[in-house]
Protein backbone atom coordinates (compact mmCIF):
# COMPACT_ATOMS: atom_id res chain seq x y z
CA UNK A 1 0.00 0.00 0.00
CA UNK A 2 2.68 2.43 1.04
CA UNK A 3 4.66 1.78 -2.13
CA UNK A 4 1.63 2.39 -4.37
CA UNK A 5 1.00 5.70 -2.55
CA UNK A 6 4.58 6.74 -3.07
CA UNK A 7 4.40 5.95 -6.79
CA UNK A 8 1.29 8.06 -7.21
CA UNK A 9 2.92 10.88 -5.35
CA UNK A 10 6.03 10.81 -7.52
CA UNK A 11 3.83 10.61 -10.61
CA UNK A 12 2.13 13.83 -9.60
CA UNK A 13 5.49 15.47 -9.01
CA UNK A 14 6.39 14.56 -12.60
CA UNK A 15 3.66 16.95 -13.64
CA UNK A 16 0.98 14.50 -14.70
CA UNK A 17 -2.54 15.84 -14.55
CA UNK A 18 -4.80 13.36 -12.80
CA UNK A 19 -7.99 13.05 -14.84
CA UNK A 20 -10.08 10.37 -16.50
CA UNK A 21 -8.00 8.31 -18.93
CA UNK A 22 -9.02 8.37 -22.60
CA UNK A 23 -9.82 4.64 -22.52
CA UNK A 24 -10.99 2.49 -19.58
CA UNK A 25 -8.11 0.02 -19.78
CA UNK A 26 -4.75 -0.80 -21.33
CA UNK A 27 -3.54 -4.40 -21.70
CA UNK A 28 0.11 -5.13 -22.46
CA UNK A 29 1.65 -8.30 -23.91
CA UNK A 30 5.23 -8.91 -24.96
CA UNK A 31 8.83 -9.46 -23.91
CA UNK A 32 11.51 -7.64 -21.90
CA UNK A 33 10.85 -4.38 -23.74
CA UNK A 34 7.49 -4.19 -21.93
CA UNK A 35 7.91 -6.47 -18.86
CA UNK A 36 7.29 -4.59 -15.61
CA UNK A 37 8.13 -7.35 -13.12
CA UNK A 38 6.44 -10.56 -14.26
CA UNK A 39 9.73 -12.49 -14.15
CA UNK A 40 10.73 -11.42 -10.65
CA UNK A 41 9.78 -14.73 -9.09
CA UNK A 42 10.94 -16.98 -11.93
CA UNK A 43 14.21 -18.89 -12.07
CA UNK A 44 15.77 -17.19 -15.08
CA UNK A 45 18.61 -14.93 -16.10
CA UNK A 46 15.92 -12.80 -17.82
CA UNK A 47 15.35 -10.84 -14.63
CA UNK A 48 16.09 -7.21 -13.85
CA UNK A 49 14.83 -6.54 -10.32
CA UNK A 50 18.18 -5.35 -8.96
CA UNK A 51 20.22 -2.14 -9.16
CA UNK A 52 21.26 -0.42 -11.35
CA UNK A 53 17.99 -1.32 -13.15
CA UNK A 54 15.36 1.24 -12.21
CA UNK A 55 17.93 3.87 -11.18
CA UNK A 56 15.74 6.53 -12.85
CA UNK A 57 12.40 4.92 -11.96
CA UNK A 58 10.30 6.28 -9.10
CA UNK A 59 10.86 3.74 -6.31
CA UNK A 60 13.88 1.98 -7.88
CA UNK A 61 14.15 -1.49 -9.47
CA UNK A 62 10.84 -3.15 -10.40
CA UNK A 63 11.87 -5.79 -12.91
CA UNK A 64 11.78 -3.41 -15.88
CA UNK A 65 14.75 -4.04 -18.19
CA UNK A 66 15.57 -0.35 -18.26
CA UNK A 67 16.98 2.51 -16.19
CA UNK A 68 13.53 4.11 -16.02
CA UNK A 69 10.18 3.93 -17.75
CA UNK A 70 9.54 1.86 -20.87
CA UNK A 71 7.51 2.79 -23.94
CA UNK A 72 4.31 1.21 -22.57
CA UNK A 73 4.72 3.18 -19.32
CA UNK A 74 4.85 6.40 -21.35
CA UNK A 75 1.87 5.32 -23.43
CA UNK A 76 -0.12 4.71 -20.23
CA UNK A 77 0.77 8.28 -19.21
CA UNK A 78 -0.17 9.70 -22.62
CA UNK A 79 -3.50 7.88 -22.41
CA UNK A 80 -4.12 9.66 -19.12
CA UNK A 81 -3.75 6.84 -16.58
CA UNK A 82 -2.69 8.07 -13.14
CA UNK A 83 -0.74 4.88 -12.40
CA UNK A 84 1.45 2.36 -14.22
CA UNK A 85 -0.41 -0.70 -15.54
CA UNK A 86 0.29 -3.40 -12.91
CA UNK A 87 2.14 -6.62 -13.82
CA UNK A 88 0.06 -9.81 -13.85
CA UNK A 89 2.34 -11.32 -11.17
CA UNK A 90 1.15 -8.86 -8.53
CA UNK A 91 -2.18 -7.44 -9.75
CA UNK A 92 -4.95 -7.65 -7.17
CA UNK A 93 -8.75 -7.31 -7.11
CA UNK A 94 -10.28 -4.32 -8.84
CA UNK A 95 -6.90 -3.20 -10.21
CA UNK A 96 -7.61 -5.42 -13.24
CA UNK A 97 -10.28 -2.93 -14.35
CA UNK A 98 -7.67 -0.54 -15.76
CA UNK A 99 -5.66 -3.28 -17.48
CA UNK A 100 -2.81 -5.68 -16.81
CA UNK A 101 0.74 -6.08 -18.09
CA UNK A 102 1.46 -9.74 -19.05
CA UNK A 103 4.84 -9.16 -20.75
CA UNK A 104 7.76 -11.41 -19.81
CA UNK A 105 11.49 -11.05 -20.49
CA UNK A 106 12.80 -13.84 -22.72
CA UNK A 107 9.33 -14.73 -23.99
CA UNK A 108 8.50 -15.43 -27.60
CA UNK A 109 5.73 -16.42 -29.94
CA UNK A 110 7.13 -19.96 -29.83
CA UNK A 111 6.82 -21.70 -26.48
CA UNK A 112 10.43 -22.97 -26.43
CA UNK A 113 11.91 -19.53 -27.15
CA UNK A 114 14.03 -18.18 -24.30
CA UNK A 115 14.50 -21.58 -22.63
CA UNK A 116 18.26 -20.92 -22.77
CA UNK A 117 17.66 -18.11 -20.24
CA UNK A 118 15.35 -20.07 -17.92
CA UNK A 119 11.73 -19.43 -16.92
CA UNK A 120 9.58 -17.01 -18.94
CA UNK A 121 5.92 -16.60 -19.82
CA UNK A 122 5.44 -17.35 -23.51
CA UNK A 123 2.85 -15.49 -25.57
CA UNK A 124 0.45 -18.43 -25.45
CA UNK A 125 0.72 -18.47 -21.64
CA UNK A 126 0.22 -14.67 -21.54
CA UNK A 127 -3.00 -15.18 -23.48
CA UNK A 128 -4.14 -17.87 -21.00
CA UNK A 129 -3.46 -15.40 -18.17
CA UNK A 130 -5.43 -12.74 -20.02
CA UNK A 131 -8.43 -15.07 -20.37
CA UNK A 132 -8.38 -15.71 -16.62
CA UNK A 133 -8.58 -11.96 -16.02
CA UNK A 134 -11.46 -11.57 -18.48
CA UNK A 135 -13.35 -14.19 -16.45
CA UNK A 136 -12.70 -12.17 -13.27
CA UNK A 137 -13.93 -8.98 -14.94
CA UNK A 138 -17.44 -10.46 -15.02
CA UNK A 139 -17.46 -10.23 -11.25
CA UNK A 140 -17.01 -6.45 -11.43
CA UNK A 141 -18.94 -5.62 -14.59
CA UNK A 142 -21.92 -7.92 -14.19
CA UNK A 143 -22.25 -10.03 -17.31
CA UNK A 144 -20.55 -11.07 -20.51
CA UNK A 145 -22.16 -8.33 -22.60
CA UNK A 146 -20.93 -5.58 -20.34
CA UNK A 147 -17.41 -7.10 -20.27
CA UNK A 148 -17.37 -7.25 -24.09
CA UNK A 149 -18.56 -3.66 -24.29
CA UNK A 150 -15.99 -2.48 -21.80
CA UNK A 151 -13.05 -4.30 -23.41
CA UNK A 152 -13.98 -3.06 -26.89
CA UNK A 153 -12.96 0.45 -25.76
CA UNK A 154 -9.59 -0.61 -24.34
CA UNK A 155 -6.15 -0.42 -25.95
CA UNK A 156 -3.98 -3.51 -26.32
CA UNK A 157 -0.30 -3.44 -27.19
CA UNK A 158 1.84 -6.42 -28.18
CA UNK A 159 5.52 -6.39 -28.99
CA UNK A 160 6.88 -9.88 -29.34
CA UNK A 161 9.04 -11.94 -31.70
CA UNK A 162 12.50 -10.50 -31.03
CA UNK A 163 13.39 -13.43 -28.78
CA UNK A 164 12.20 -15.88 -31.42
CA UNK A 165 15.26 -14.61 -33.30
CA UNK A 166 17.94 -13.73 -30.73
CA UNK A 167 16.97 -16.42 -28.23
CA UNK A 168 16.03 -19.09 -30.75
CA UNK A 169 16.77 -18.83 -34.50
CA UNK A 170 20.21 -17.23 -34.05
CA UNK A 171 21.29 -19.68 -31.32
CA UNK A 172 21.86 -22.83 -33.38
CA UNK A 173 23.67 -24.51 -30.46
CA UNK A 174 20.41 -24.51 -28.46
CA UNK A 175 17.68 -24.57 -31.11
CA UNK A 176 17.26 -26.43 -34.42
CA UNK A 177 14.98 -23.82 -36.05
CA UNK A 178 17.62 -22.31 -38.35
CA UNK A 179 18.34 -25.79 -39.75
CA UNK A 180 14.66 -26.65 -40.16
CA UNK A 181 13.42 -23.41 -41.71
CA UNK A 182 14.68 -20.83 -44.16
CA UNK A 183 14.39 -17.23 -42.92
CA UNK A 184 11.26 -16.76 -45.05
CA UNK A 185 9.67 -20.00 -43.80
CA UNK A 186 10.46 -19.09 -40.21
CA UNK A 187 8.84 -15.64 -40.55
CA UNK A 188 5.74 -17.26 -42.06
CA UNK A 189 5.58 -19.81 -39.24
CA UNK A 190 5.90 -17.12 -36.55
CA UNK A 191 3.20 -15.01 -38.18
CA UNK A 192 0.85 -18.02 -38.31
CA UNK A 193 1.29 -18.73 -34.60
CA UNK A 194 1.04 -15.02 -33.76
CA UNK A 195 -2.15 -14.78 -35.74
CA UNK A 196 -3.68 -17.73 -33.80
CA UNK A 197 -2.91 -16.07 -30.46
CA UNK A 198 -4.27 -12.73 -31.65
CA UNK A 199 -7.50 -14.42 -32.73
CA UNK A 200 -7.98 -15.85 -29.25
CA UNK A 201 -7.40 -12.38 -27.78
CA UNK A 202 -9.92 -10.95 -30.23
CA UNK A 203 -12.46 -13.59 -29.21
CA UNK A 204 -11.89 -12.54 -25.60
CA UNK A 205 -12.60 -8.89 -26.24
CA UNK A 206 -9.45 -7.33 -27.75
CA UNK A 207 -10.54 -5.00 -30.56
CA UNK A 208 -8.13 -2.03 -30.52
CA UNK A 209 -4.79 -3.73 -30.87
CA UNK A 210 -1.36 -2.22 -31.64
CA UNK A 211 1.14 -4.71 -33.06
CA UNK A 212 4.61 -3.35 -32.39
CA UNK A 213 7.22 -4.34 -34.96
CA UNK A 214 10.62 -5.69 -33.98
CA UNK A 215 13.71 -3.58 -33.36
CA UNK A 216 16.65 -4.00 -35.68
CA UNK A 217 18.16 -6.58 -33.35
CA UNK A 218 21.32 -6.68 -35.49
CA UNK A 219 22.09 -3.26 -33.99
CA UNK A 220 21.97 -4.14 -30.28
CA UNK A 221 25.40 -3.69 -28.63
CA UNK A 222 25.83 -7.44 -28.16
CA UNK A 223 25.63 -8.05 -31.93
CA UNK A 224 27.57 -4.91 -32.79
CA UNK A 225 30.42 -6.14 -30.56
CA UNK A 226 30.59 -9.29 -32.70
CA UNK A 227 30.39 -7.41 -36.01
CA UNK A 228 33.38 -5.08 -35.88
CA UNK A 229 31.37 -2.23 -34.36
CA UNK A 230 28.63 -2.07 -36.97
CA UNK A 231 25.11 -3.46 -37.14
CA UNK A 232 24.84 -7.07 -38.25
CA UNK A 233 22.88 -6.43 -41.42
CA UNK A 234 22.20 -10.10 -42.12
CA UNK A 235 20.36 -10.37 -38.78
CA UNK A 236 18.40 -7.22 -39.61
CA UNK A 237 17.32 -8.52 -42.97
CA UNK A 238 16.16 -11.87 -41.52
CA UNK A 239 14.16 -10.09 -38.78
CA UNK A 240 12.85 -7.66 -41.39
CA UNK A 241 11.02 -10.56 -43.07
CA UNK A 242 8.82 -10.86 -39.97
CA UNK A 243 8.16 -7.11 -39.78
CA UNK A 244 7.28 -7.00 -43.46
CA UNK A 245 4.35 -9.36 -42.84
CA UNK A 246 2.75 -7.31 -40.06
CA UNK A 247 0.94 -4.69 -42.21
CA UNK A 248 -0.92 -7.39 -44.15
CA UNK A 249 -1.73 -9.20 -40.90
CA UNK A 250 -3.29 -5.95 -39.68
CA UNK A 251 -5.23 -5.60 -42.94
CA UNK A 252 -6.58 -9.13 -42.75
CA UNK A 253 -7.75 -8.72 -39.13
CA UNK A 254 -9.44 -5.42 -39.91
CA UNK A 255 -11.12 -6.84 -43.00
CA UNK A 256 -12.23 -10.21 -41.67
CA UNK A 257 -13.01 -9.76 -37.98
CA UNK A 258 -16.02 -7.69 -36.99
CA UNK A 259 -15.09 -4.61 -34.98
CA UNK A 260 -11.33 -5.27 -35.17
CA UNK A 261 -9.17 -2.12 -35.23
CA UNK A 262 -5.62 -3.35 -35.47
CA UNK A 263 -2.62 -1.13 -36.15
CA UNK A 264 1.06 -1.75 -36.92
CA UNK A 265 3.87 0.27 -35.34
CA UNK A 266 7.01 0.44 -37.47
CA UNK A 267 9.75 0.65 -34.84
CA UNK A 268 12.47 0.51 -37.50
CA UNK A 269 11.06 3.63 -39.13
CA UNK A 270 11.32 5.47 -35.80
CA UNK A 271 14.85 4.07 -35.28
CA UNK A 272 15.92 5.19 -38.75
CA UNK A 273 14.83 8.75 -38.00
CA UNK A 274 16.71 8.73 -34.70
CA UNK A 275 19.81 7.40 -36.46
CA UNK A 276 19.66 10.28 -38.94
CA UNK A 277 19.18 12.94 -36.24
CA UNK A 278 21.21 11.65 -33.29
CA UNK A 279 22.33 15.10 -32.20
CA UNK A 280 18.85 16.58 -32.31
CA UNK A 281 17.77 13.85 -29.89
CA UNK A 282 20.81 14.42 -27.65
CA UNK A 283 22.32 10.96 -28.18
CA UNK A 284 26.12 10.68 -28.10
CA UNK A 285 26.68 6.93 -27.64
CA UNK A 286 24.99 4.40 -29.89
CA UNK A 287 27.06 1.24 -29.91
CA UNK A 288 27.61 0.38 -26.25
CA UNK A 289 25.27 0.26 -23.30
CA UNK A 290 25.28 2.61 -20.32
CA UNK A 291 25.82 0.02 -17.59
CA UNK A 292 28.70 -2.48 -17.39
CA UNK A 293 28.09 -6.03 -18.53
CA UNK A 294 30.34 -9.08 -18.42
CA UNK A 295 30.67 -10.24 -22.01
CA UNK A 296 33.04 -13.07 -21.05
CA UNK A 297 30.11 -14.89 -19.40
CA UNK A 298 27.74 -14.12 -22.28
CA UNK A 299 25.60 -12.19 -19.79
CA UNK A 300 23.90 -9.30 -21.54
CA UNK A 301 22.45 -7.59 -18.49
CA UNK A 302 23.97 -5.02 -16.14
CA UNK A 303 26.34 -6.32 -13.47
CA UNK A 304 24.45 -6.21 -10.15
CA UNK A 305 25.11 -2.98 -8.25
CA UNK A 306 27.46 -1.70 -10.99
CA UNK A 307 27.79 2.05 -11.42
CA UNK A 308 26.18 3.04 -14.74
CA UNK A 309 27.14 5.95 -17.00
CA UNK A 310 26.48 9.44 -15.65
CA UNK A 311 24.15 10.83 -18.30
CA UNK A 312 21.67 8.12 -19.29
CA UNK A 313 19.89 10.36 -21.78
CA UNK A 314 22.97 10.42 -24.04
CA UNK A 315 22.82 6.66 -24.52
CA UNK A 316 20.55 4.71 -26.82
CA UNK A 317 21.20 1.46 -24.99
CA UNK A 318 21.03 0.80 -21.28
CA UNK A 319 22.57 -2.70 -21.15
CA UNK A 320 23.85 -4.96 -23.95
CA UNK A 321 20.35 -5.51 -25.38
CA UNK A 322 17.77 -3.10 -23.95
CA UNK A 323 17.11 0.58 -24.73
CA UNK A 324 17.37 3.42 -22.23
CA UNK A 325 14.34 5.31 -20.98
CA UNK A 326 15.39 8.11 -23.36
CA UNK A 327 14.99 5.83 -26.39
CA UNK A 328 11.76 4.28 -25.02
CA UNK A 329 10.31 7.79 -24.76
CA UNK A 330 11.02 8.53 -28.42
CA UNK A 331 9.47 5.21 -29.45
CA UNK A 332 6.41 5.96 -27.32
CA UNK A 333 5.97 9.42 -28.82
CA UNK A 334 6.16 8.00 -32.34
CA UNK A 335 3.67 5.23 -31.56
CA UNK A 336 1.22 7.51 -29.85
CA UNK A 337 1.38 10.47 -32.23
CA UNK A 338 2.79 9.73 -35.68
CA UNK A 339 1.93 13.10 -37.19
CA UNK A 340 5.64 13.82 -37.74
CA UNK A 341 5.97 10.78 -40.03
CA UNK A 342 3.30 8.75 -41.75
CA UNK A 343 5.67 5.77 -41.81
CA UNK A 344 5.58 5.27 -38.02
CA UNK A 345 2.15 3.68 -37.74
CA UNK A 346 -0.37 2.04 -40.05
CA UNK A 347 -3.22 2.81 -40.60
CA UNK A 348 -3.48 5.14 -37.55
CA UNK A 349 -1.46 5.90 -34.41
CA UNK A 350 -2.35 4.87 -30.85
CA UNK A 351 -3.95 8.24 -30.23
CA UNK A 352 -6.20 7.66 -33.26
CA UNK A 353 -6.98 4.17 -32.00
CA UNK A 354 -8.04 5.56 -28.61
CA UNK A 355 -10.40 8.02 -30.28
CA UNK A 356 -12.13 5.49 -32.57
C1 LIG B 1 -25.88 -7.06 -18.56
O2 LIG B 1 -25.61 -6.01 -17.64
C3 LIG B 1 -26.04 -4.75 -18.11
C4 LIG B 1 -25.52 -3.67 -17.14
O5 LIG B 1 -25.70 -4.07 -15.82
C6 LIG B 1 -27.56 -4.75 -18.25
O7 LIG B 1 -28.01 -3.49 -18.70
C8 LIG B 1 -27.93 -5.84 -19.25
O9 LIG B 1 -29.34 -5.95 -19.33
C10 LIG B 1 -27.35 -7.19 -18.85
N11 LIG B 1 -27.55 -8.14 -19.96
C12 LIG B 1 -27.88 -9.40 -19.76
C13 LIG B 1 -27.99 -10.24 -20.98
O14 LIG B 1 -28.05 -9.87 -18.65
C1 LIG C 1 25.78 -11.84 -38.02
O2 LIG C 1 24.99 -12.76 -37.32
C3 LIG C 1 24.98 -14.05 -37.90
C4 LIG C 1 23.96 -14.88 -37.15
O5 LIG C 1 24.24 -14.92 -35.77
C6 LIG C 1 26.39 -14.62 -37.82
O7 LIG C 1 26.41 -15.90 -38.42
C8 LIG C 1 27.34 -13.69 -38.55
O9 LIG C 1 28.67 -14.14 -38.38
C10 LIG C 1 27.21 -12.28 -38.00
N11 LIG C 1 28.00 -11.39 -38.82
C12 LIG C 1 28.99 -10.69 -38.34
C13 LIG C 1 29.66 -9.76 -39.29
O14 LIG C 1 29.34 -10.78 -37.18
C1 LIG D 1 36.43 -7.40 -38.86
O2 LIG D 1 37.63 -6.65 -38.84
C3 LIG D 1 38.79 -7.47 -39.00
C4 LIG D 1 40.02 -6.57 -38.83
O5 LIG D 1 39.80 -5.31 -39.38
C6 LIG D 1 38.75 -8.12 -40.39
O7 LIG D 1 39.88 -8.97 -40.55
C8 LIG D 1 37.49 -8.96 -40.48
O9 LIG D 1 37.35 -9.49 -41.77
C10 LIG D 1 36.27 -8.11 -40.19
N11 LIG D 1 35.10 -8.99 -40.12
C12 LIG D 1 33.95 -8.67 -40.67
C13 LIG D 1 32.87 -9.68 -40.52
O14 LIG D 1 33.77 -7.62 -41.28
C1 LIG E 1 9.08 0.61 -41.96
O2 LIG E 1 9.58 1.88 -42.31
C3 LIG E 1 10.77 1.79 -43.09
C4 LIG E 1 11.34 3.18 -43.19
O5 LIG E 1 10.38 4.13 -43.44
C6 LIG E 1 10.40 1.16 -44.42
O7 LIG E 1 11.54 1.06 -45.24
C8 LIG E 1 9.83 -0.23 -44.17
O9 LIG E 1 9.38 -0.80 -45.37
C10 LIG E 1 8.67 -0.16 -43.19
N11 LIG E 1 8.31 -1.52 -42.81
C12 LIG E 1 7.11 -2.02 -42.95
C13 LIG E 1 6.93 -3.42 -42.56
O14 LIG E 1 6.19 -1.35 -43.37
C1 LIG F 1 22.77 14.95 -20.48
O2 LIG F 1 22.65 14.78 -21.88
C3 LIG F 1 21.63 15.57 -22.47
C4 LIG F 1 21.52 15.15 -23.92
O5 LIG F 1 22.75 15.10 -24.57
C6 LIG F 1 21.97 17.04 -22.28
O7 LIG F 1 20.95 17.83 -22.84
C8 LIG F 1 22.10 17.32 -20.78
O9 LIG F 1 22.53 18.65 -20.59
C10 LIG F 1 23.09 16.37 -20.14
N11 LIG F 1 23.06 16.54 -18.69
C12 LIG F 1 24.13 16.68 -17.95
C13 LIG F 1 23.90 16.83 -16.47
O14 LIG F 1 25.24 16.69 -18.42
C1 LIG G 1 33.27 -11.79 -15.68
O2 LIG G 1 33.11 -13.19 -15.75
C3 LIG G 1 34.32 -13.91 -15.63
C4 LIG G 1 34.01 -15.36 -15.90
O5 LIG G 1 33.00 -15.84 -15.04
C6 LIG G 1 34.88 -13.66 -14.24
O7 LIG G 1 36.10 -14.34 -14.11
C8 LIG G 1 35.10 -12.16 -14.06
O9 LIG G 1 35.52 -11.89 -12.74
C10 LIG G 1 33.83 -11.39 -14.33
N11 LIG G 1 34.08 -9.96 -14.31
C12 LIG G 1 33.38 -9.11 -13.58
C13 LIG G 1 33.76 -7.69 -13.68
O14 LIG G 1 32.46 -9.48 -12.85
C1 LIG H 1 1.57 15.41 -32.41
O2 LIG H 1 2.93 15.74 -32.66
C3 LIG H 1 3.11 16.93 -33.42
C4 LIG H 1 4.58 17.13 -33.67
O5 LIG H 1 5.16 16.00 -34.21
C6 LIG H 1 2.52 18.12 -32.66
O7 LIG H 1 2.65 19.27 -33.44
C8 LIG H 1 1.06 17.85 -32.33
O9 LIG H 1 0.58 18.87 -31.52
C10 LIG H 1 0.90 16.51 -31.63
N11 LIG H 1 -0.53 16.26 -31.49
C12 LIG H 1 -1.08 15.89 -30.34
C13 LIG H 1 -2.56 15.78 -30.35
O14 LIG H 1 -0.43 15.65 -29.33
Residue 158 domain-assigned (yes or no): yes
**Within a domain: 33:** yes
Category of 13 on φ-ψ map: left (φ > 0), alpha (ψ -120 to 50) or beta = alpha
Please indicate, yes or no, if residue 278 is contained in any of the structural domains. Answer: no
pTM to 2 decimals? Answer: 0.93
Whether 322 is a known active-site residue: answer yes
Q: Please compute the mean of the pLDDT values over residues 242-267 and round it to a whole number.
A: 98
Tell me if 275 is assigned to some domain. Answer: no
Residue 209 in domain: yes
In testing the pocket of ligand 6, which one of 45, 293, 295, 296 has its CB within 8 Å of the most ligand atoms? 296
Determine, yes or no, domain membership for 302: no
Question: What per-residue confidence (pLDDT) applies to 11?
Answer: 53
The predicted-structure confidence for 50-91, as pLDDT tens digits, reads as follows 999 999 999 999 999 999 999 999 999 999 999 999 999 999
Query: What pLDDT is stored for residue 1 in this prediction?
Result: 34
Query: What are the pocket residues of ligand 4 if the criterion is a CB atom closer than 6 Å to any ligand atom?
Result: 243-244, 246-247, 266, 268-269, 272, 343
Q: Are 212 and 267 in contact (CB under 8 A)?
A: yes
**Positive/negative CA dihedral, 37, 38, 44, 46:** negative
Task: Print the domain residue range for 115.
Answer: 19-269+325-355
Q: Note whether residue 274 is domain-resident.
A: no
CA of 224 to the centre of ligand 3 (A): 12
Q: Tens digits of per-residue pLDDT, 18-41? A: 579 999 999 999 999 999 999 999
- Computed over every residue of the chain, the mean pLDDT equals 94
Q: What is the DSSP string of 6-42?
A: HHHHHHHHTT------SSS-EEEEESTTT-SSTTTTS
DSSP letter string, 165-190: IIIIIT-TTT--HHHHS-HHHHHHHH
Q: Please, are residues 8 and 83 in contact by the beta-carbon 8 Å criterion?
A: yes
pLDDT, tens only, 116-125: 999 999 999 9
Q: Which one of the listed residues 31, 35, 56, 319 is annotated catalytic?
A: 319
Number of domains in the chain: 1
Strand intervals (E) in 100-249? 155-159, 208-212
Long-range contact pairs involving 199-204 (C-beta distance under 8 Å, separation at least 24)? 199/257, 200/127, 200/131, 201/29, 201/127, 201/130, 201/156, 202/253, 202/257, 202/260, 204/130, 204/131, 204/134, 204/151
Q: What is the CATH number for 61?
A: 3.40.50
Question: Does residue 328 have an active-site annotation?
Answer: no
Q: Answer yes or no: is the C-beta of 22 below 6 A from any ligand 7 atom.
A: no
Percent of residues, the chain, with pLDDT higher than 90 = 90
User: Does residue 79 contact residue 334 with C-beta atoms inside 8 Å?
Assistant: no
Q: Which residues have C-beta within 8 Å of that of residue 204, sequence separation ≥ 6?
A: 130, 131, 134, 151
**In whole angstroms, what is the distance from residue 220 CA to residue 225 CA?**
9
Domain-located, residue 297? no
Do 41 and 89 form a contact (C-beta atoms < 8 A)?
A: yes
pLDDT for 2 beyond 60: no
- Please state, in angstroms and rounded to a whole number, the distance separating the CA atoms of residues 346 and 266: 8
Amino acid sequence: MRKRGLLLFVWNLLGMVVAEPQVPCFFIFGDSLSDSGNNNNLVTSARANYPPYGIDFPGGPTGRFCNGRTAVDFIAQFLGFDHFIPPYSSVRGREILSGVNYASGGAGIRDETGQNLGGRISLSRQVVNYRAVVEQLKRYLGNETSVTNYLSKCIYSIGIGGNDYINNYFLPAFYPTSRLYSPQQYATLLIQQYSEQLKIMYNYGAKKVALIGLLDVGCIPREVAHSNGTCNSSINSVVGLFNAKLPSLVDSFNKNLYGAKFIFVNISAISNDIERNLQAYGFMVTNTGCCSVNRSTGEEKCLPFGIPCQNRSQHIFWDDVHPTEALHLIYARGMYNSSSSSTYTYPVDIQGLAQQ
